[in-house]
Each structure stands twice: as structure tokens, then as C-alpha cells.
Amino acid sequence: MKKFLKITGILLLIIFAILAVIPLVLESKIDAIVQAYADENLNAKVEFDDISLSLIISFPKANVTIDNLNITNAEPFKGETLMTAKSINFEMPISELWKSESDGPLVVNEIAVDEALLTLKTNTAGVTNYDIIKTDSLANTNTNNTNKGFSFDIKDYSIEDSAFSFIDESSNTSFFITALNHNGHGIFSGSTSELDTKTEANVSLIIDSTSYLSNNSIKLDALIDLDLENSIYTFKDNNGFINQLPLKFRGYVQQLDNAQDVDITFENPESSFKDFLAVIPKAYAKNLDDVETTGDFKVNGKIRGKVSETTIPKLDINITSDNASFKYPDLPKRVENISINTSLKNETGNADDTFIAIDRLNFKIDKDVFKSSATIRQLTSNMMVNANIDGVLNLQNITKVYPIKLENDLQGILKGKVNSSFDMKAIETNAFERIKNNGNLSISNFEYSSKDIVNPFAITKSDIEFKPNHVTLKSFDASSGTSDFKANGTITNLLGFLLSEKKLKGHFNVTSNMFAISDFMIEDTTISEDNKTTSDSESLRIPEFLDCTINANAKTVLYDNLELKNVKGKLVIADQKADLQNMTSDIFDGKLAIGGLVSTKEKTPTFNLNLGANDFDIAQSFKDLELLQNLAPIAKTLQGKLNTTIALNGSLDKSFSPNISTVSGNALAEILTSTVNPLQGDVLEKLSGALSFIDFKKLDLKDVKTKLSFENGQVSVKPFNLKYNDIDVEISGTHGFDESMNYIAVFNVPAKYLGTEINNFISKLNDDSAKDITVPVTATIGGSFKQPTVKTDLTSSVSKLTQQLIEIQKQQIIGKGKDKINELLGGITGNDKEKETDSTTTSTTDTVKGILGGLLGGKKKEKKKDSLNR
């Protein structure tokens, strides 16, 4: 026995070794067969990572696995993926591996597909992406290709964790199957056989942007008779589930040359109203085991006829329920008096003749009764709708009767009695004469809250009147945070907005006692680079769906740190842009006018505005407005009134304030009345020290006008003039938003301000022109507004005044003759005259230097004259 076991073990080891080695020899052969078959027969690019062969896993059968299959379409779908699969596994008799091409095709018994993604598409021209078999390959099927490739004698097959997509662009229809797990067992080789299948999947159906199924769960256990000779597939004993709704069905499908003949009937085996709740996706319906229900619910249907390019089967599907109710055990309220009578029918086989009739859809919660009915016709062409709503609905009760967790909390009372009749093309083309609306709708004590907004949004009362050509917003009284507003107006395409993703068009009048911009901030959640979730506030953007005109009138608007009073004007909103027209407001004890455009269409909001300010309080406005602070920082030393016009553009930050570094434009400013407090400004304090003869408190700024231009953070001030008594001053230069500056101030100082000594000297000249002498003193202002530097051209000013006085002296000497010269200069003659003239010139120069030095820099000691000269 021991010897027998030893021999048996050796034999098994040899067999195992052979089974392990054979695949190494045969894999390349299988690889070549698969690739050759694909290249010769398919009009598509077929790629795979590897083909492996094992004789151990499925012994006594061979197991062939294709890994990471990828099939890519050729024209007209070039580059699009038809199919991918993580793996496709084939099982076949080991004897098939030694076949040559002359021995016939390889026979495959079992197929297993894992994680397949298949996309079947038909374009607008009717061309399909799955028609990939070459024409010559089809022609040679029964001739020279009969001994190549594979044949299938399948007993078992499975498809795991896969998804199929069916997209028909010509009919704008999409059908998706996801989370598909399907397996079947049967024999396909005979003319008749039986197939036992099990299927689980989620399905979605979208037709013309309307979702009819949305990730609905289906289960199907089907026993199918296969008449392969006549292509008839008969459903014998079949049980299925749509979500949690059980269905039994029977019938057959026959494949014809250019169509399928369908004859199927179905119904729910139970009649409990619990079956109605089972239609709702399980994620929303939750556990139905303990739900209390009364009344019945029946679903039954017939689908009979041909499916072809021009026809669909006739349909007769009905859903009914009478006097039903339900209550979830953990919820406080019950839904009762439920009555449903709905049908889906097609009596001709023409797809466009399909219609839905909702004769009744009624229910009651507490004392609130809600009734509705509707008919929908011409589903596939120009859908026609006639709907009626009559009832009351307390929105807060939704979560008290049904276990649904709303993303945002709702409360309020909705009342309505509305009839609406329209066709979709009328909505799409704004053919208002074909849109018939009549009735009234109101909502009261409505409150909407969300984590995305700072404050709950509350509607105290709103009344809407429906008329054939438009909808009238009769009243709208709402609030959020500290803000309140009321509105009325007209809406021209409410149904277009609700049903076809059109923009909401209308004309509204809005009034408010208090409107705070901060009340309408939203939270923008983004993922940072380290994959951590962060929240950042972002201003309320102009909704993309708005296309309307708003006449606004607000008593107070709070914007950042500003309080605007009596805000009035018009906003024309379209394409996420607000065109501000004739906007006015009271602020800074003056009037502000605004016109221009604000856009939030791009990620960063932008603006292009014209501002006009009349009678602004200078000190207050330059203190509170960052823009004005940057345009004229020195203005904080001024007290008085200002007129200005500013044209500017740039981007807005998250608080909807101008991003100063992006602002460019120009401004014209006019000072009406003003006094100066030099102690409030470092620049004027420095100038006061450098120009001691000027008292800046007495500076006359009345009617001063100046022009500014600004771009890239730099402000350029055009030359402007002002007066100090009878001293003319001209100022020009530039400064940056970073507070750096480069200015020049030229002071034309009359001689009379130069002191007694210089005035006595001028009087001795006995010349009227000398009295009009002015000394131009240039102050160069640099550094920054907080640390300014001031330099004066003292040497140049001394030189100019000296030259003027000497020139007058010379002219008088020449005109009055020698005697007069002697008299004026003390009787100087001969060479002494020249020396004295030089001496006088020197004396005059020294005198001027001393005087100007004292005036322009404070009193100087004698030993510092040389430094003044510099």
C-alpha cells in the first residue's frame, strides 16, 4: 500500500508538471490565433495585455484567459472605445489545444467575463459602432474561413461587475445598465434547449433629456426555452423585481429578419399597497417590512407587436389603487385617502402615439388634501401636456410621512389651483399663444436653509397668478438674515424655465428696507492640494438662469463697511452679467451715481463702472473707501466737500470689493470747499518744515481740479494749480498703491514774502518791476506716504533771484549815468567801481541766500551757509 501511494504520488507529480509546462508551449499559438482572427475579421483595433493558458485550474479542461482586452472603433467612431474587459476566460477540452486549422475551429464550452464596459452607439446618420465585422469576412463565412477561429458549445456563461451603455443619438435616447451580474446555464448546440438565467443590475433610461428610470434596481430569474431554429425565446417561469416591486411575466420574443416580435404580459403577484412603495428606489423607500399599509395596488400590462425601425409594440400598462394609506413606524404622520389611476398606452404601434394618462393622483396628510391629474401625448415628437393641480401641501410634512433625508430643510404651506396646457415646442420657441395657464399658486411661511448659505431664506408670503400669456408675481415678501425685500412683476416663460432649462425671463420691481450683501454669501468647498476639504466664502454669483430686468429701491444697503441710503436704479441681468443703469445712492453726505457692468461669468468676477460723486464729505469718504484711499492718500488731511467722476475696471474679490491691484481707469476730481490739517499727513508735516513761510492750514483749495489716471497699481496725477494767498503752486507726479510716491510741487513765491531786508534792498532799486519778482521754489517729494522725503532746489532759487536783482541794478546803472551810480553806490570811482560792483553782487547773493535759507528751512546759523548753498 505504501509503495502504491508512492507510485501514485510520483505519477500525479509528473502529470502536474506536464500540465504546468504545456501552456508555456501553447500560449503563443493561442495568442497568434486570437490576434489573427481579430485582424482578419474585425474592422476595429483589438489589443490585450496577455493571453494565459492553464491546465490545472479547470482540469480536465483547458483554461484560456485574455487580460485587459480593449477594442477601439475605426471611422466614423475613430478613437472611441467599444469595449474593455479586465478579463475574459474560456474553458475548452484539452484536446482542442492540439488541433490544427485543418481540424476545424476550436470548441469553447464556458465563458466568464469580468468587469466589462460595453458602449453601443448609433449616430445621427444611423451608423452603429458595433457593426465591426468586415464585409469580406461575412462573405467567406461558409467557404475558406470555416476551419478558422472558434465555435461555441456553451454550457455555462457569466458576466460579473460589468456595465452596458446603449446610446441612440438619432432619437436622443440613452439606456444604461450598471452593476450588472448575470449568469446562465444551458446547452446551445441543439435546435431546442432550455436556458436558466439569473440577473441583477441597475438601469437608467433617458429620452429627450427626460429621465424615466434613474438607477432603478432590477432582478430577474428567468427560465427560457430556446428554439434556435426559429429564433423564438419563450419565458416559462419568470420572477423579477423593479426596485422592490415583485413582478411575474410570461410570453416570448422572436427574432425576425429586420425586427423582433414581442408578446409579453406581466403583473404584480400581490395586491398590497406596500408594492407601490416598492417601486421607489430602495435607497429612498428604506425598509418596508414594518410599514403599515391599507388598500390595494395593482400593476399589469401587455406588450404586443413588432420592434423595428418604424414600429414599437402596442402597450397597455395600468397602475391602480383605491383608498390606500401608509405609515412608517418611526414617523409621526400617515398618508391616507390615496387614489391612483394611471395608464401608459399605445394602440397603433407608432411610437409617437404613446400617451400617459394620470386620471387620478390624490392623497391626504392631516387636513391637507392634494389632487392632481394629467395627460401627456406625443412623447417622442412634440410632447403635449395638459395638467391640473388642486390642493394644499405642507412642505414640512414630507419628512414626517416619508423616510427621506432632504439635503436642505424645507418648511411652508403650498396652495394651488392651476391648469396648464402646452406643447414642448411652444415652450422652446416662446410661442406663448399655445401656452395656456390659468389659476393661482401661493406659498406662505416658507423657509429654506442649507449649509451653503449663511442665513435661512424665508418667504412670508408669495402669490402667483397664472394667465395664458404670462405669469404675474403679485406679491413676494421675503427675508434673509437682517435683509428684507418685497417684489412684484411678470414672468414670461416660467414653464420654459421649469421644464426645458431655459432662462427665467421677466420684469420685477424690488423694494427693501435693509439689504446686507453679507447675508447672501455662500460657502465654496474645495479640495486643497493635500486632499483635505476646506471651506472658503465666495460671493453670491449672478445666477446663470436669470434673464430679467429689476427696478430696485432700497432704503439702506450694507456693502462691506459702507452704508448706502436711498439706493435706486435699474439692473438688467443676463448671461451672468448685471448692467447697472441710473443707480443712485446717498452716502458720505453726498450723492453717488453708478453705471456700468458687473460680470460673474468667469471664475473671477469683473467690473467696468462709471462712478459720479457729488458733495462727498472728503474726510469720511477717503477714510471708508479703499479705492479713494489708494487714488489720493493725502486727501485724508482735507476737510470739506468733493465732486468726482471715476471710470474704472478690474476684478472683484470674494467680498465683492474691487481688487485694488487689478484696477485701472481715470478720474476727474473737483474740491468744492476744504481746509487742511497738516498734522494728519506725514507729507504735509515734512513740507511745513521745508517751507516755513507757508501755513498749510490757510491753503486755499476751493475750486481745485485735477485729473488722475491709474493702471497696474500706479496713479498718475496731471499738473494742477492751487493758491496760498498770492503764491501760485503747481503739483504733478505719480504714486503707487504700495504708497510709494514721486511728486514735484513748484511754489512761485513773490519777493514781498522774502523779508524786510530783501524788500528794503528792492525798494532802493526804485524799480516797479522789482516788486513783481517771484522766486520759483521746487519741492521734490519722494519716499512713501508714511515716510516721505522732501528736497528743495534752494541753490537754484537763490541763483535765479540773484540774477534778477543784479540785472535790475545793471540796467539802472546804465540808465542813470555815473553820478547816479556814485550816489547809489556811495561815490565809487575808477577801479574801485568794479571792485564795489563785484562786492555788491556778492553781497546781494549772500543776502538772498540768507533770506531764502531762513524761509525754506527755518533760521540757519552762519556756519551752515555752505550747506544751504549745496
Nearest alpha carbon to residue 483 among 527, 443, 449, 517: 517
Mean of the pLDDT values across residues 466-487? Answer: 89
Neighbours of 753 (CB within 10 A): 18
Identify the DSSP state of 502: -
pLDDT tens across 700-730, in order? Answer: 777 788 888 888 888 898 998 887 777 888 8
- How far CA 396 is from CA of 87, 392, 418, 625, in Å, comes to 51, 12, 22, 45
- Three-state secondary structure call for residue 394: strand
DSSP 603-667: SS-EEEEEEEEEEEEHHHHHHH-HHHHHH-GGGGGEEEEEEEEEEEEEEB-TTSSB-GGG-EEEE
Of the two residues 311 and 102, the one the predictor is more confident about is 311
- Three-state secondary structure call for residue 827: coil
How many whole angstroms separate alpha carbon 488 and alpha carbon 462? Answer: 9
487 with 466: CB under 8 angstroms?
Answer: no
* Non-local CB neighbours of 863 within 8 Å, separated by 6+ positions: none
Of the two residues 551 and 828, the one the predictor is more confident about is 551
Model confidence at 104, in pLDDT bands (50, 70, 90)? Answer: low
pLDDT, position 410: 76
621 with 634: CB under 8 angstroms?
Answer: no
pLDDT, position 241: 84
The answer to pTM > 0.85 is: no
How many whole angstroms separate alpha carbon 112 and alpha carbon 134? Answer: 26
**Mean pLDDT taken over the chain:** 78
Q: How many CA atoms lie within 13 A of 74 on its CB side?
A: 10
How many whole angstroms separate alpha carbon 306 and alpha carbon 256? Answer: 9
Model confidence at 129, in pLDDT bands (50, 70, 90)? Answer: confident
- Three-state secondary structure call for residue 337: strand
Of the two residues 41 and 167, the one the predictor is more confident about is 167
Identify the DSSP state of 416: E
435 with 413: CB under 8 angstroms?
Answer: no
Q: Is 590 exposed, middle or buried (0-12, 13-18, 19+ CB in 10 A)?
A: buried
How many whole angstroms separate alpha carbon 428 and alpha carbon 497? Answer: 10
Of the two residues 390 and 12, the one the predictor is more confident about is 390
- How far CA 40 is from CA of 27, 83, 102, 681, 792, in Å, comes to 20, 19, 18, 89, 94
SS3 string, 253-296, reads EEECCCCEEEEEEEECCCCECHHHHHHCCHHHHCCCCCCEEECE
Residue corresponding to grid cell 514774502 = 753
Residue type, 535: S
How many whole angstroms separate alpha carbon 90 and alpha carbon 105? Answer: 14
Mean of the pLDDT values across residues 851-870? Answer: 42
Beta bridge partners of 485: 478
H helix intervals, 484-577: 494-499
Neighbours of 19 (CB within 10 A): 17
pLDDT, position 833: 42
**Whether the predicted pLDDT of 283 surpasses 70:** no
pLDDT, position 281: 64
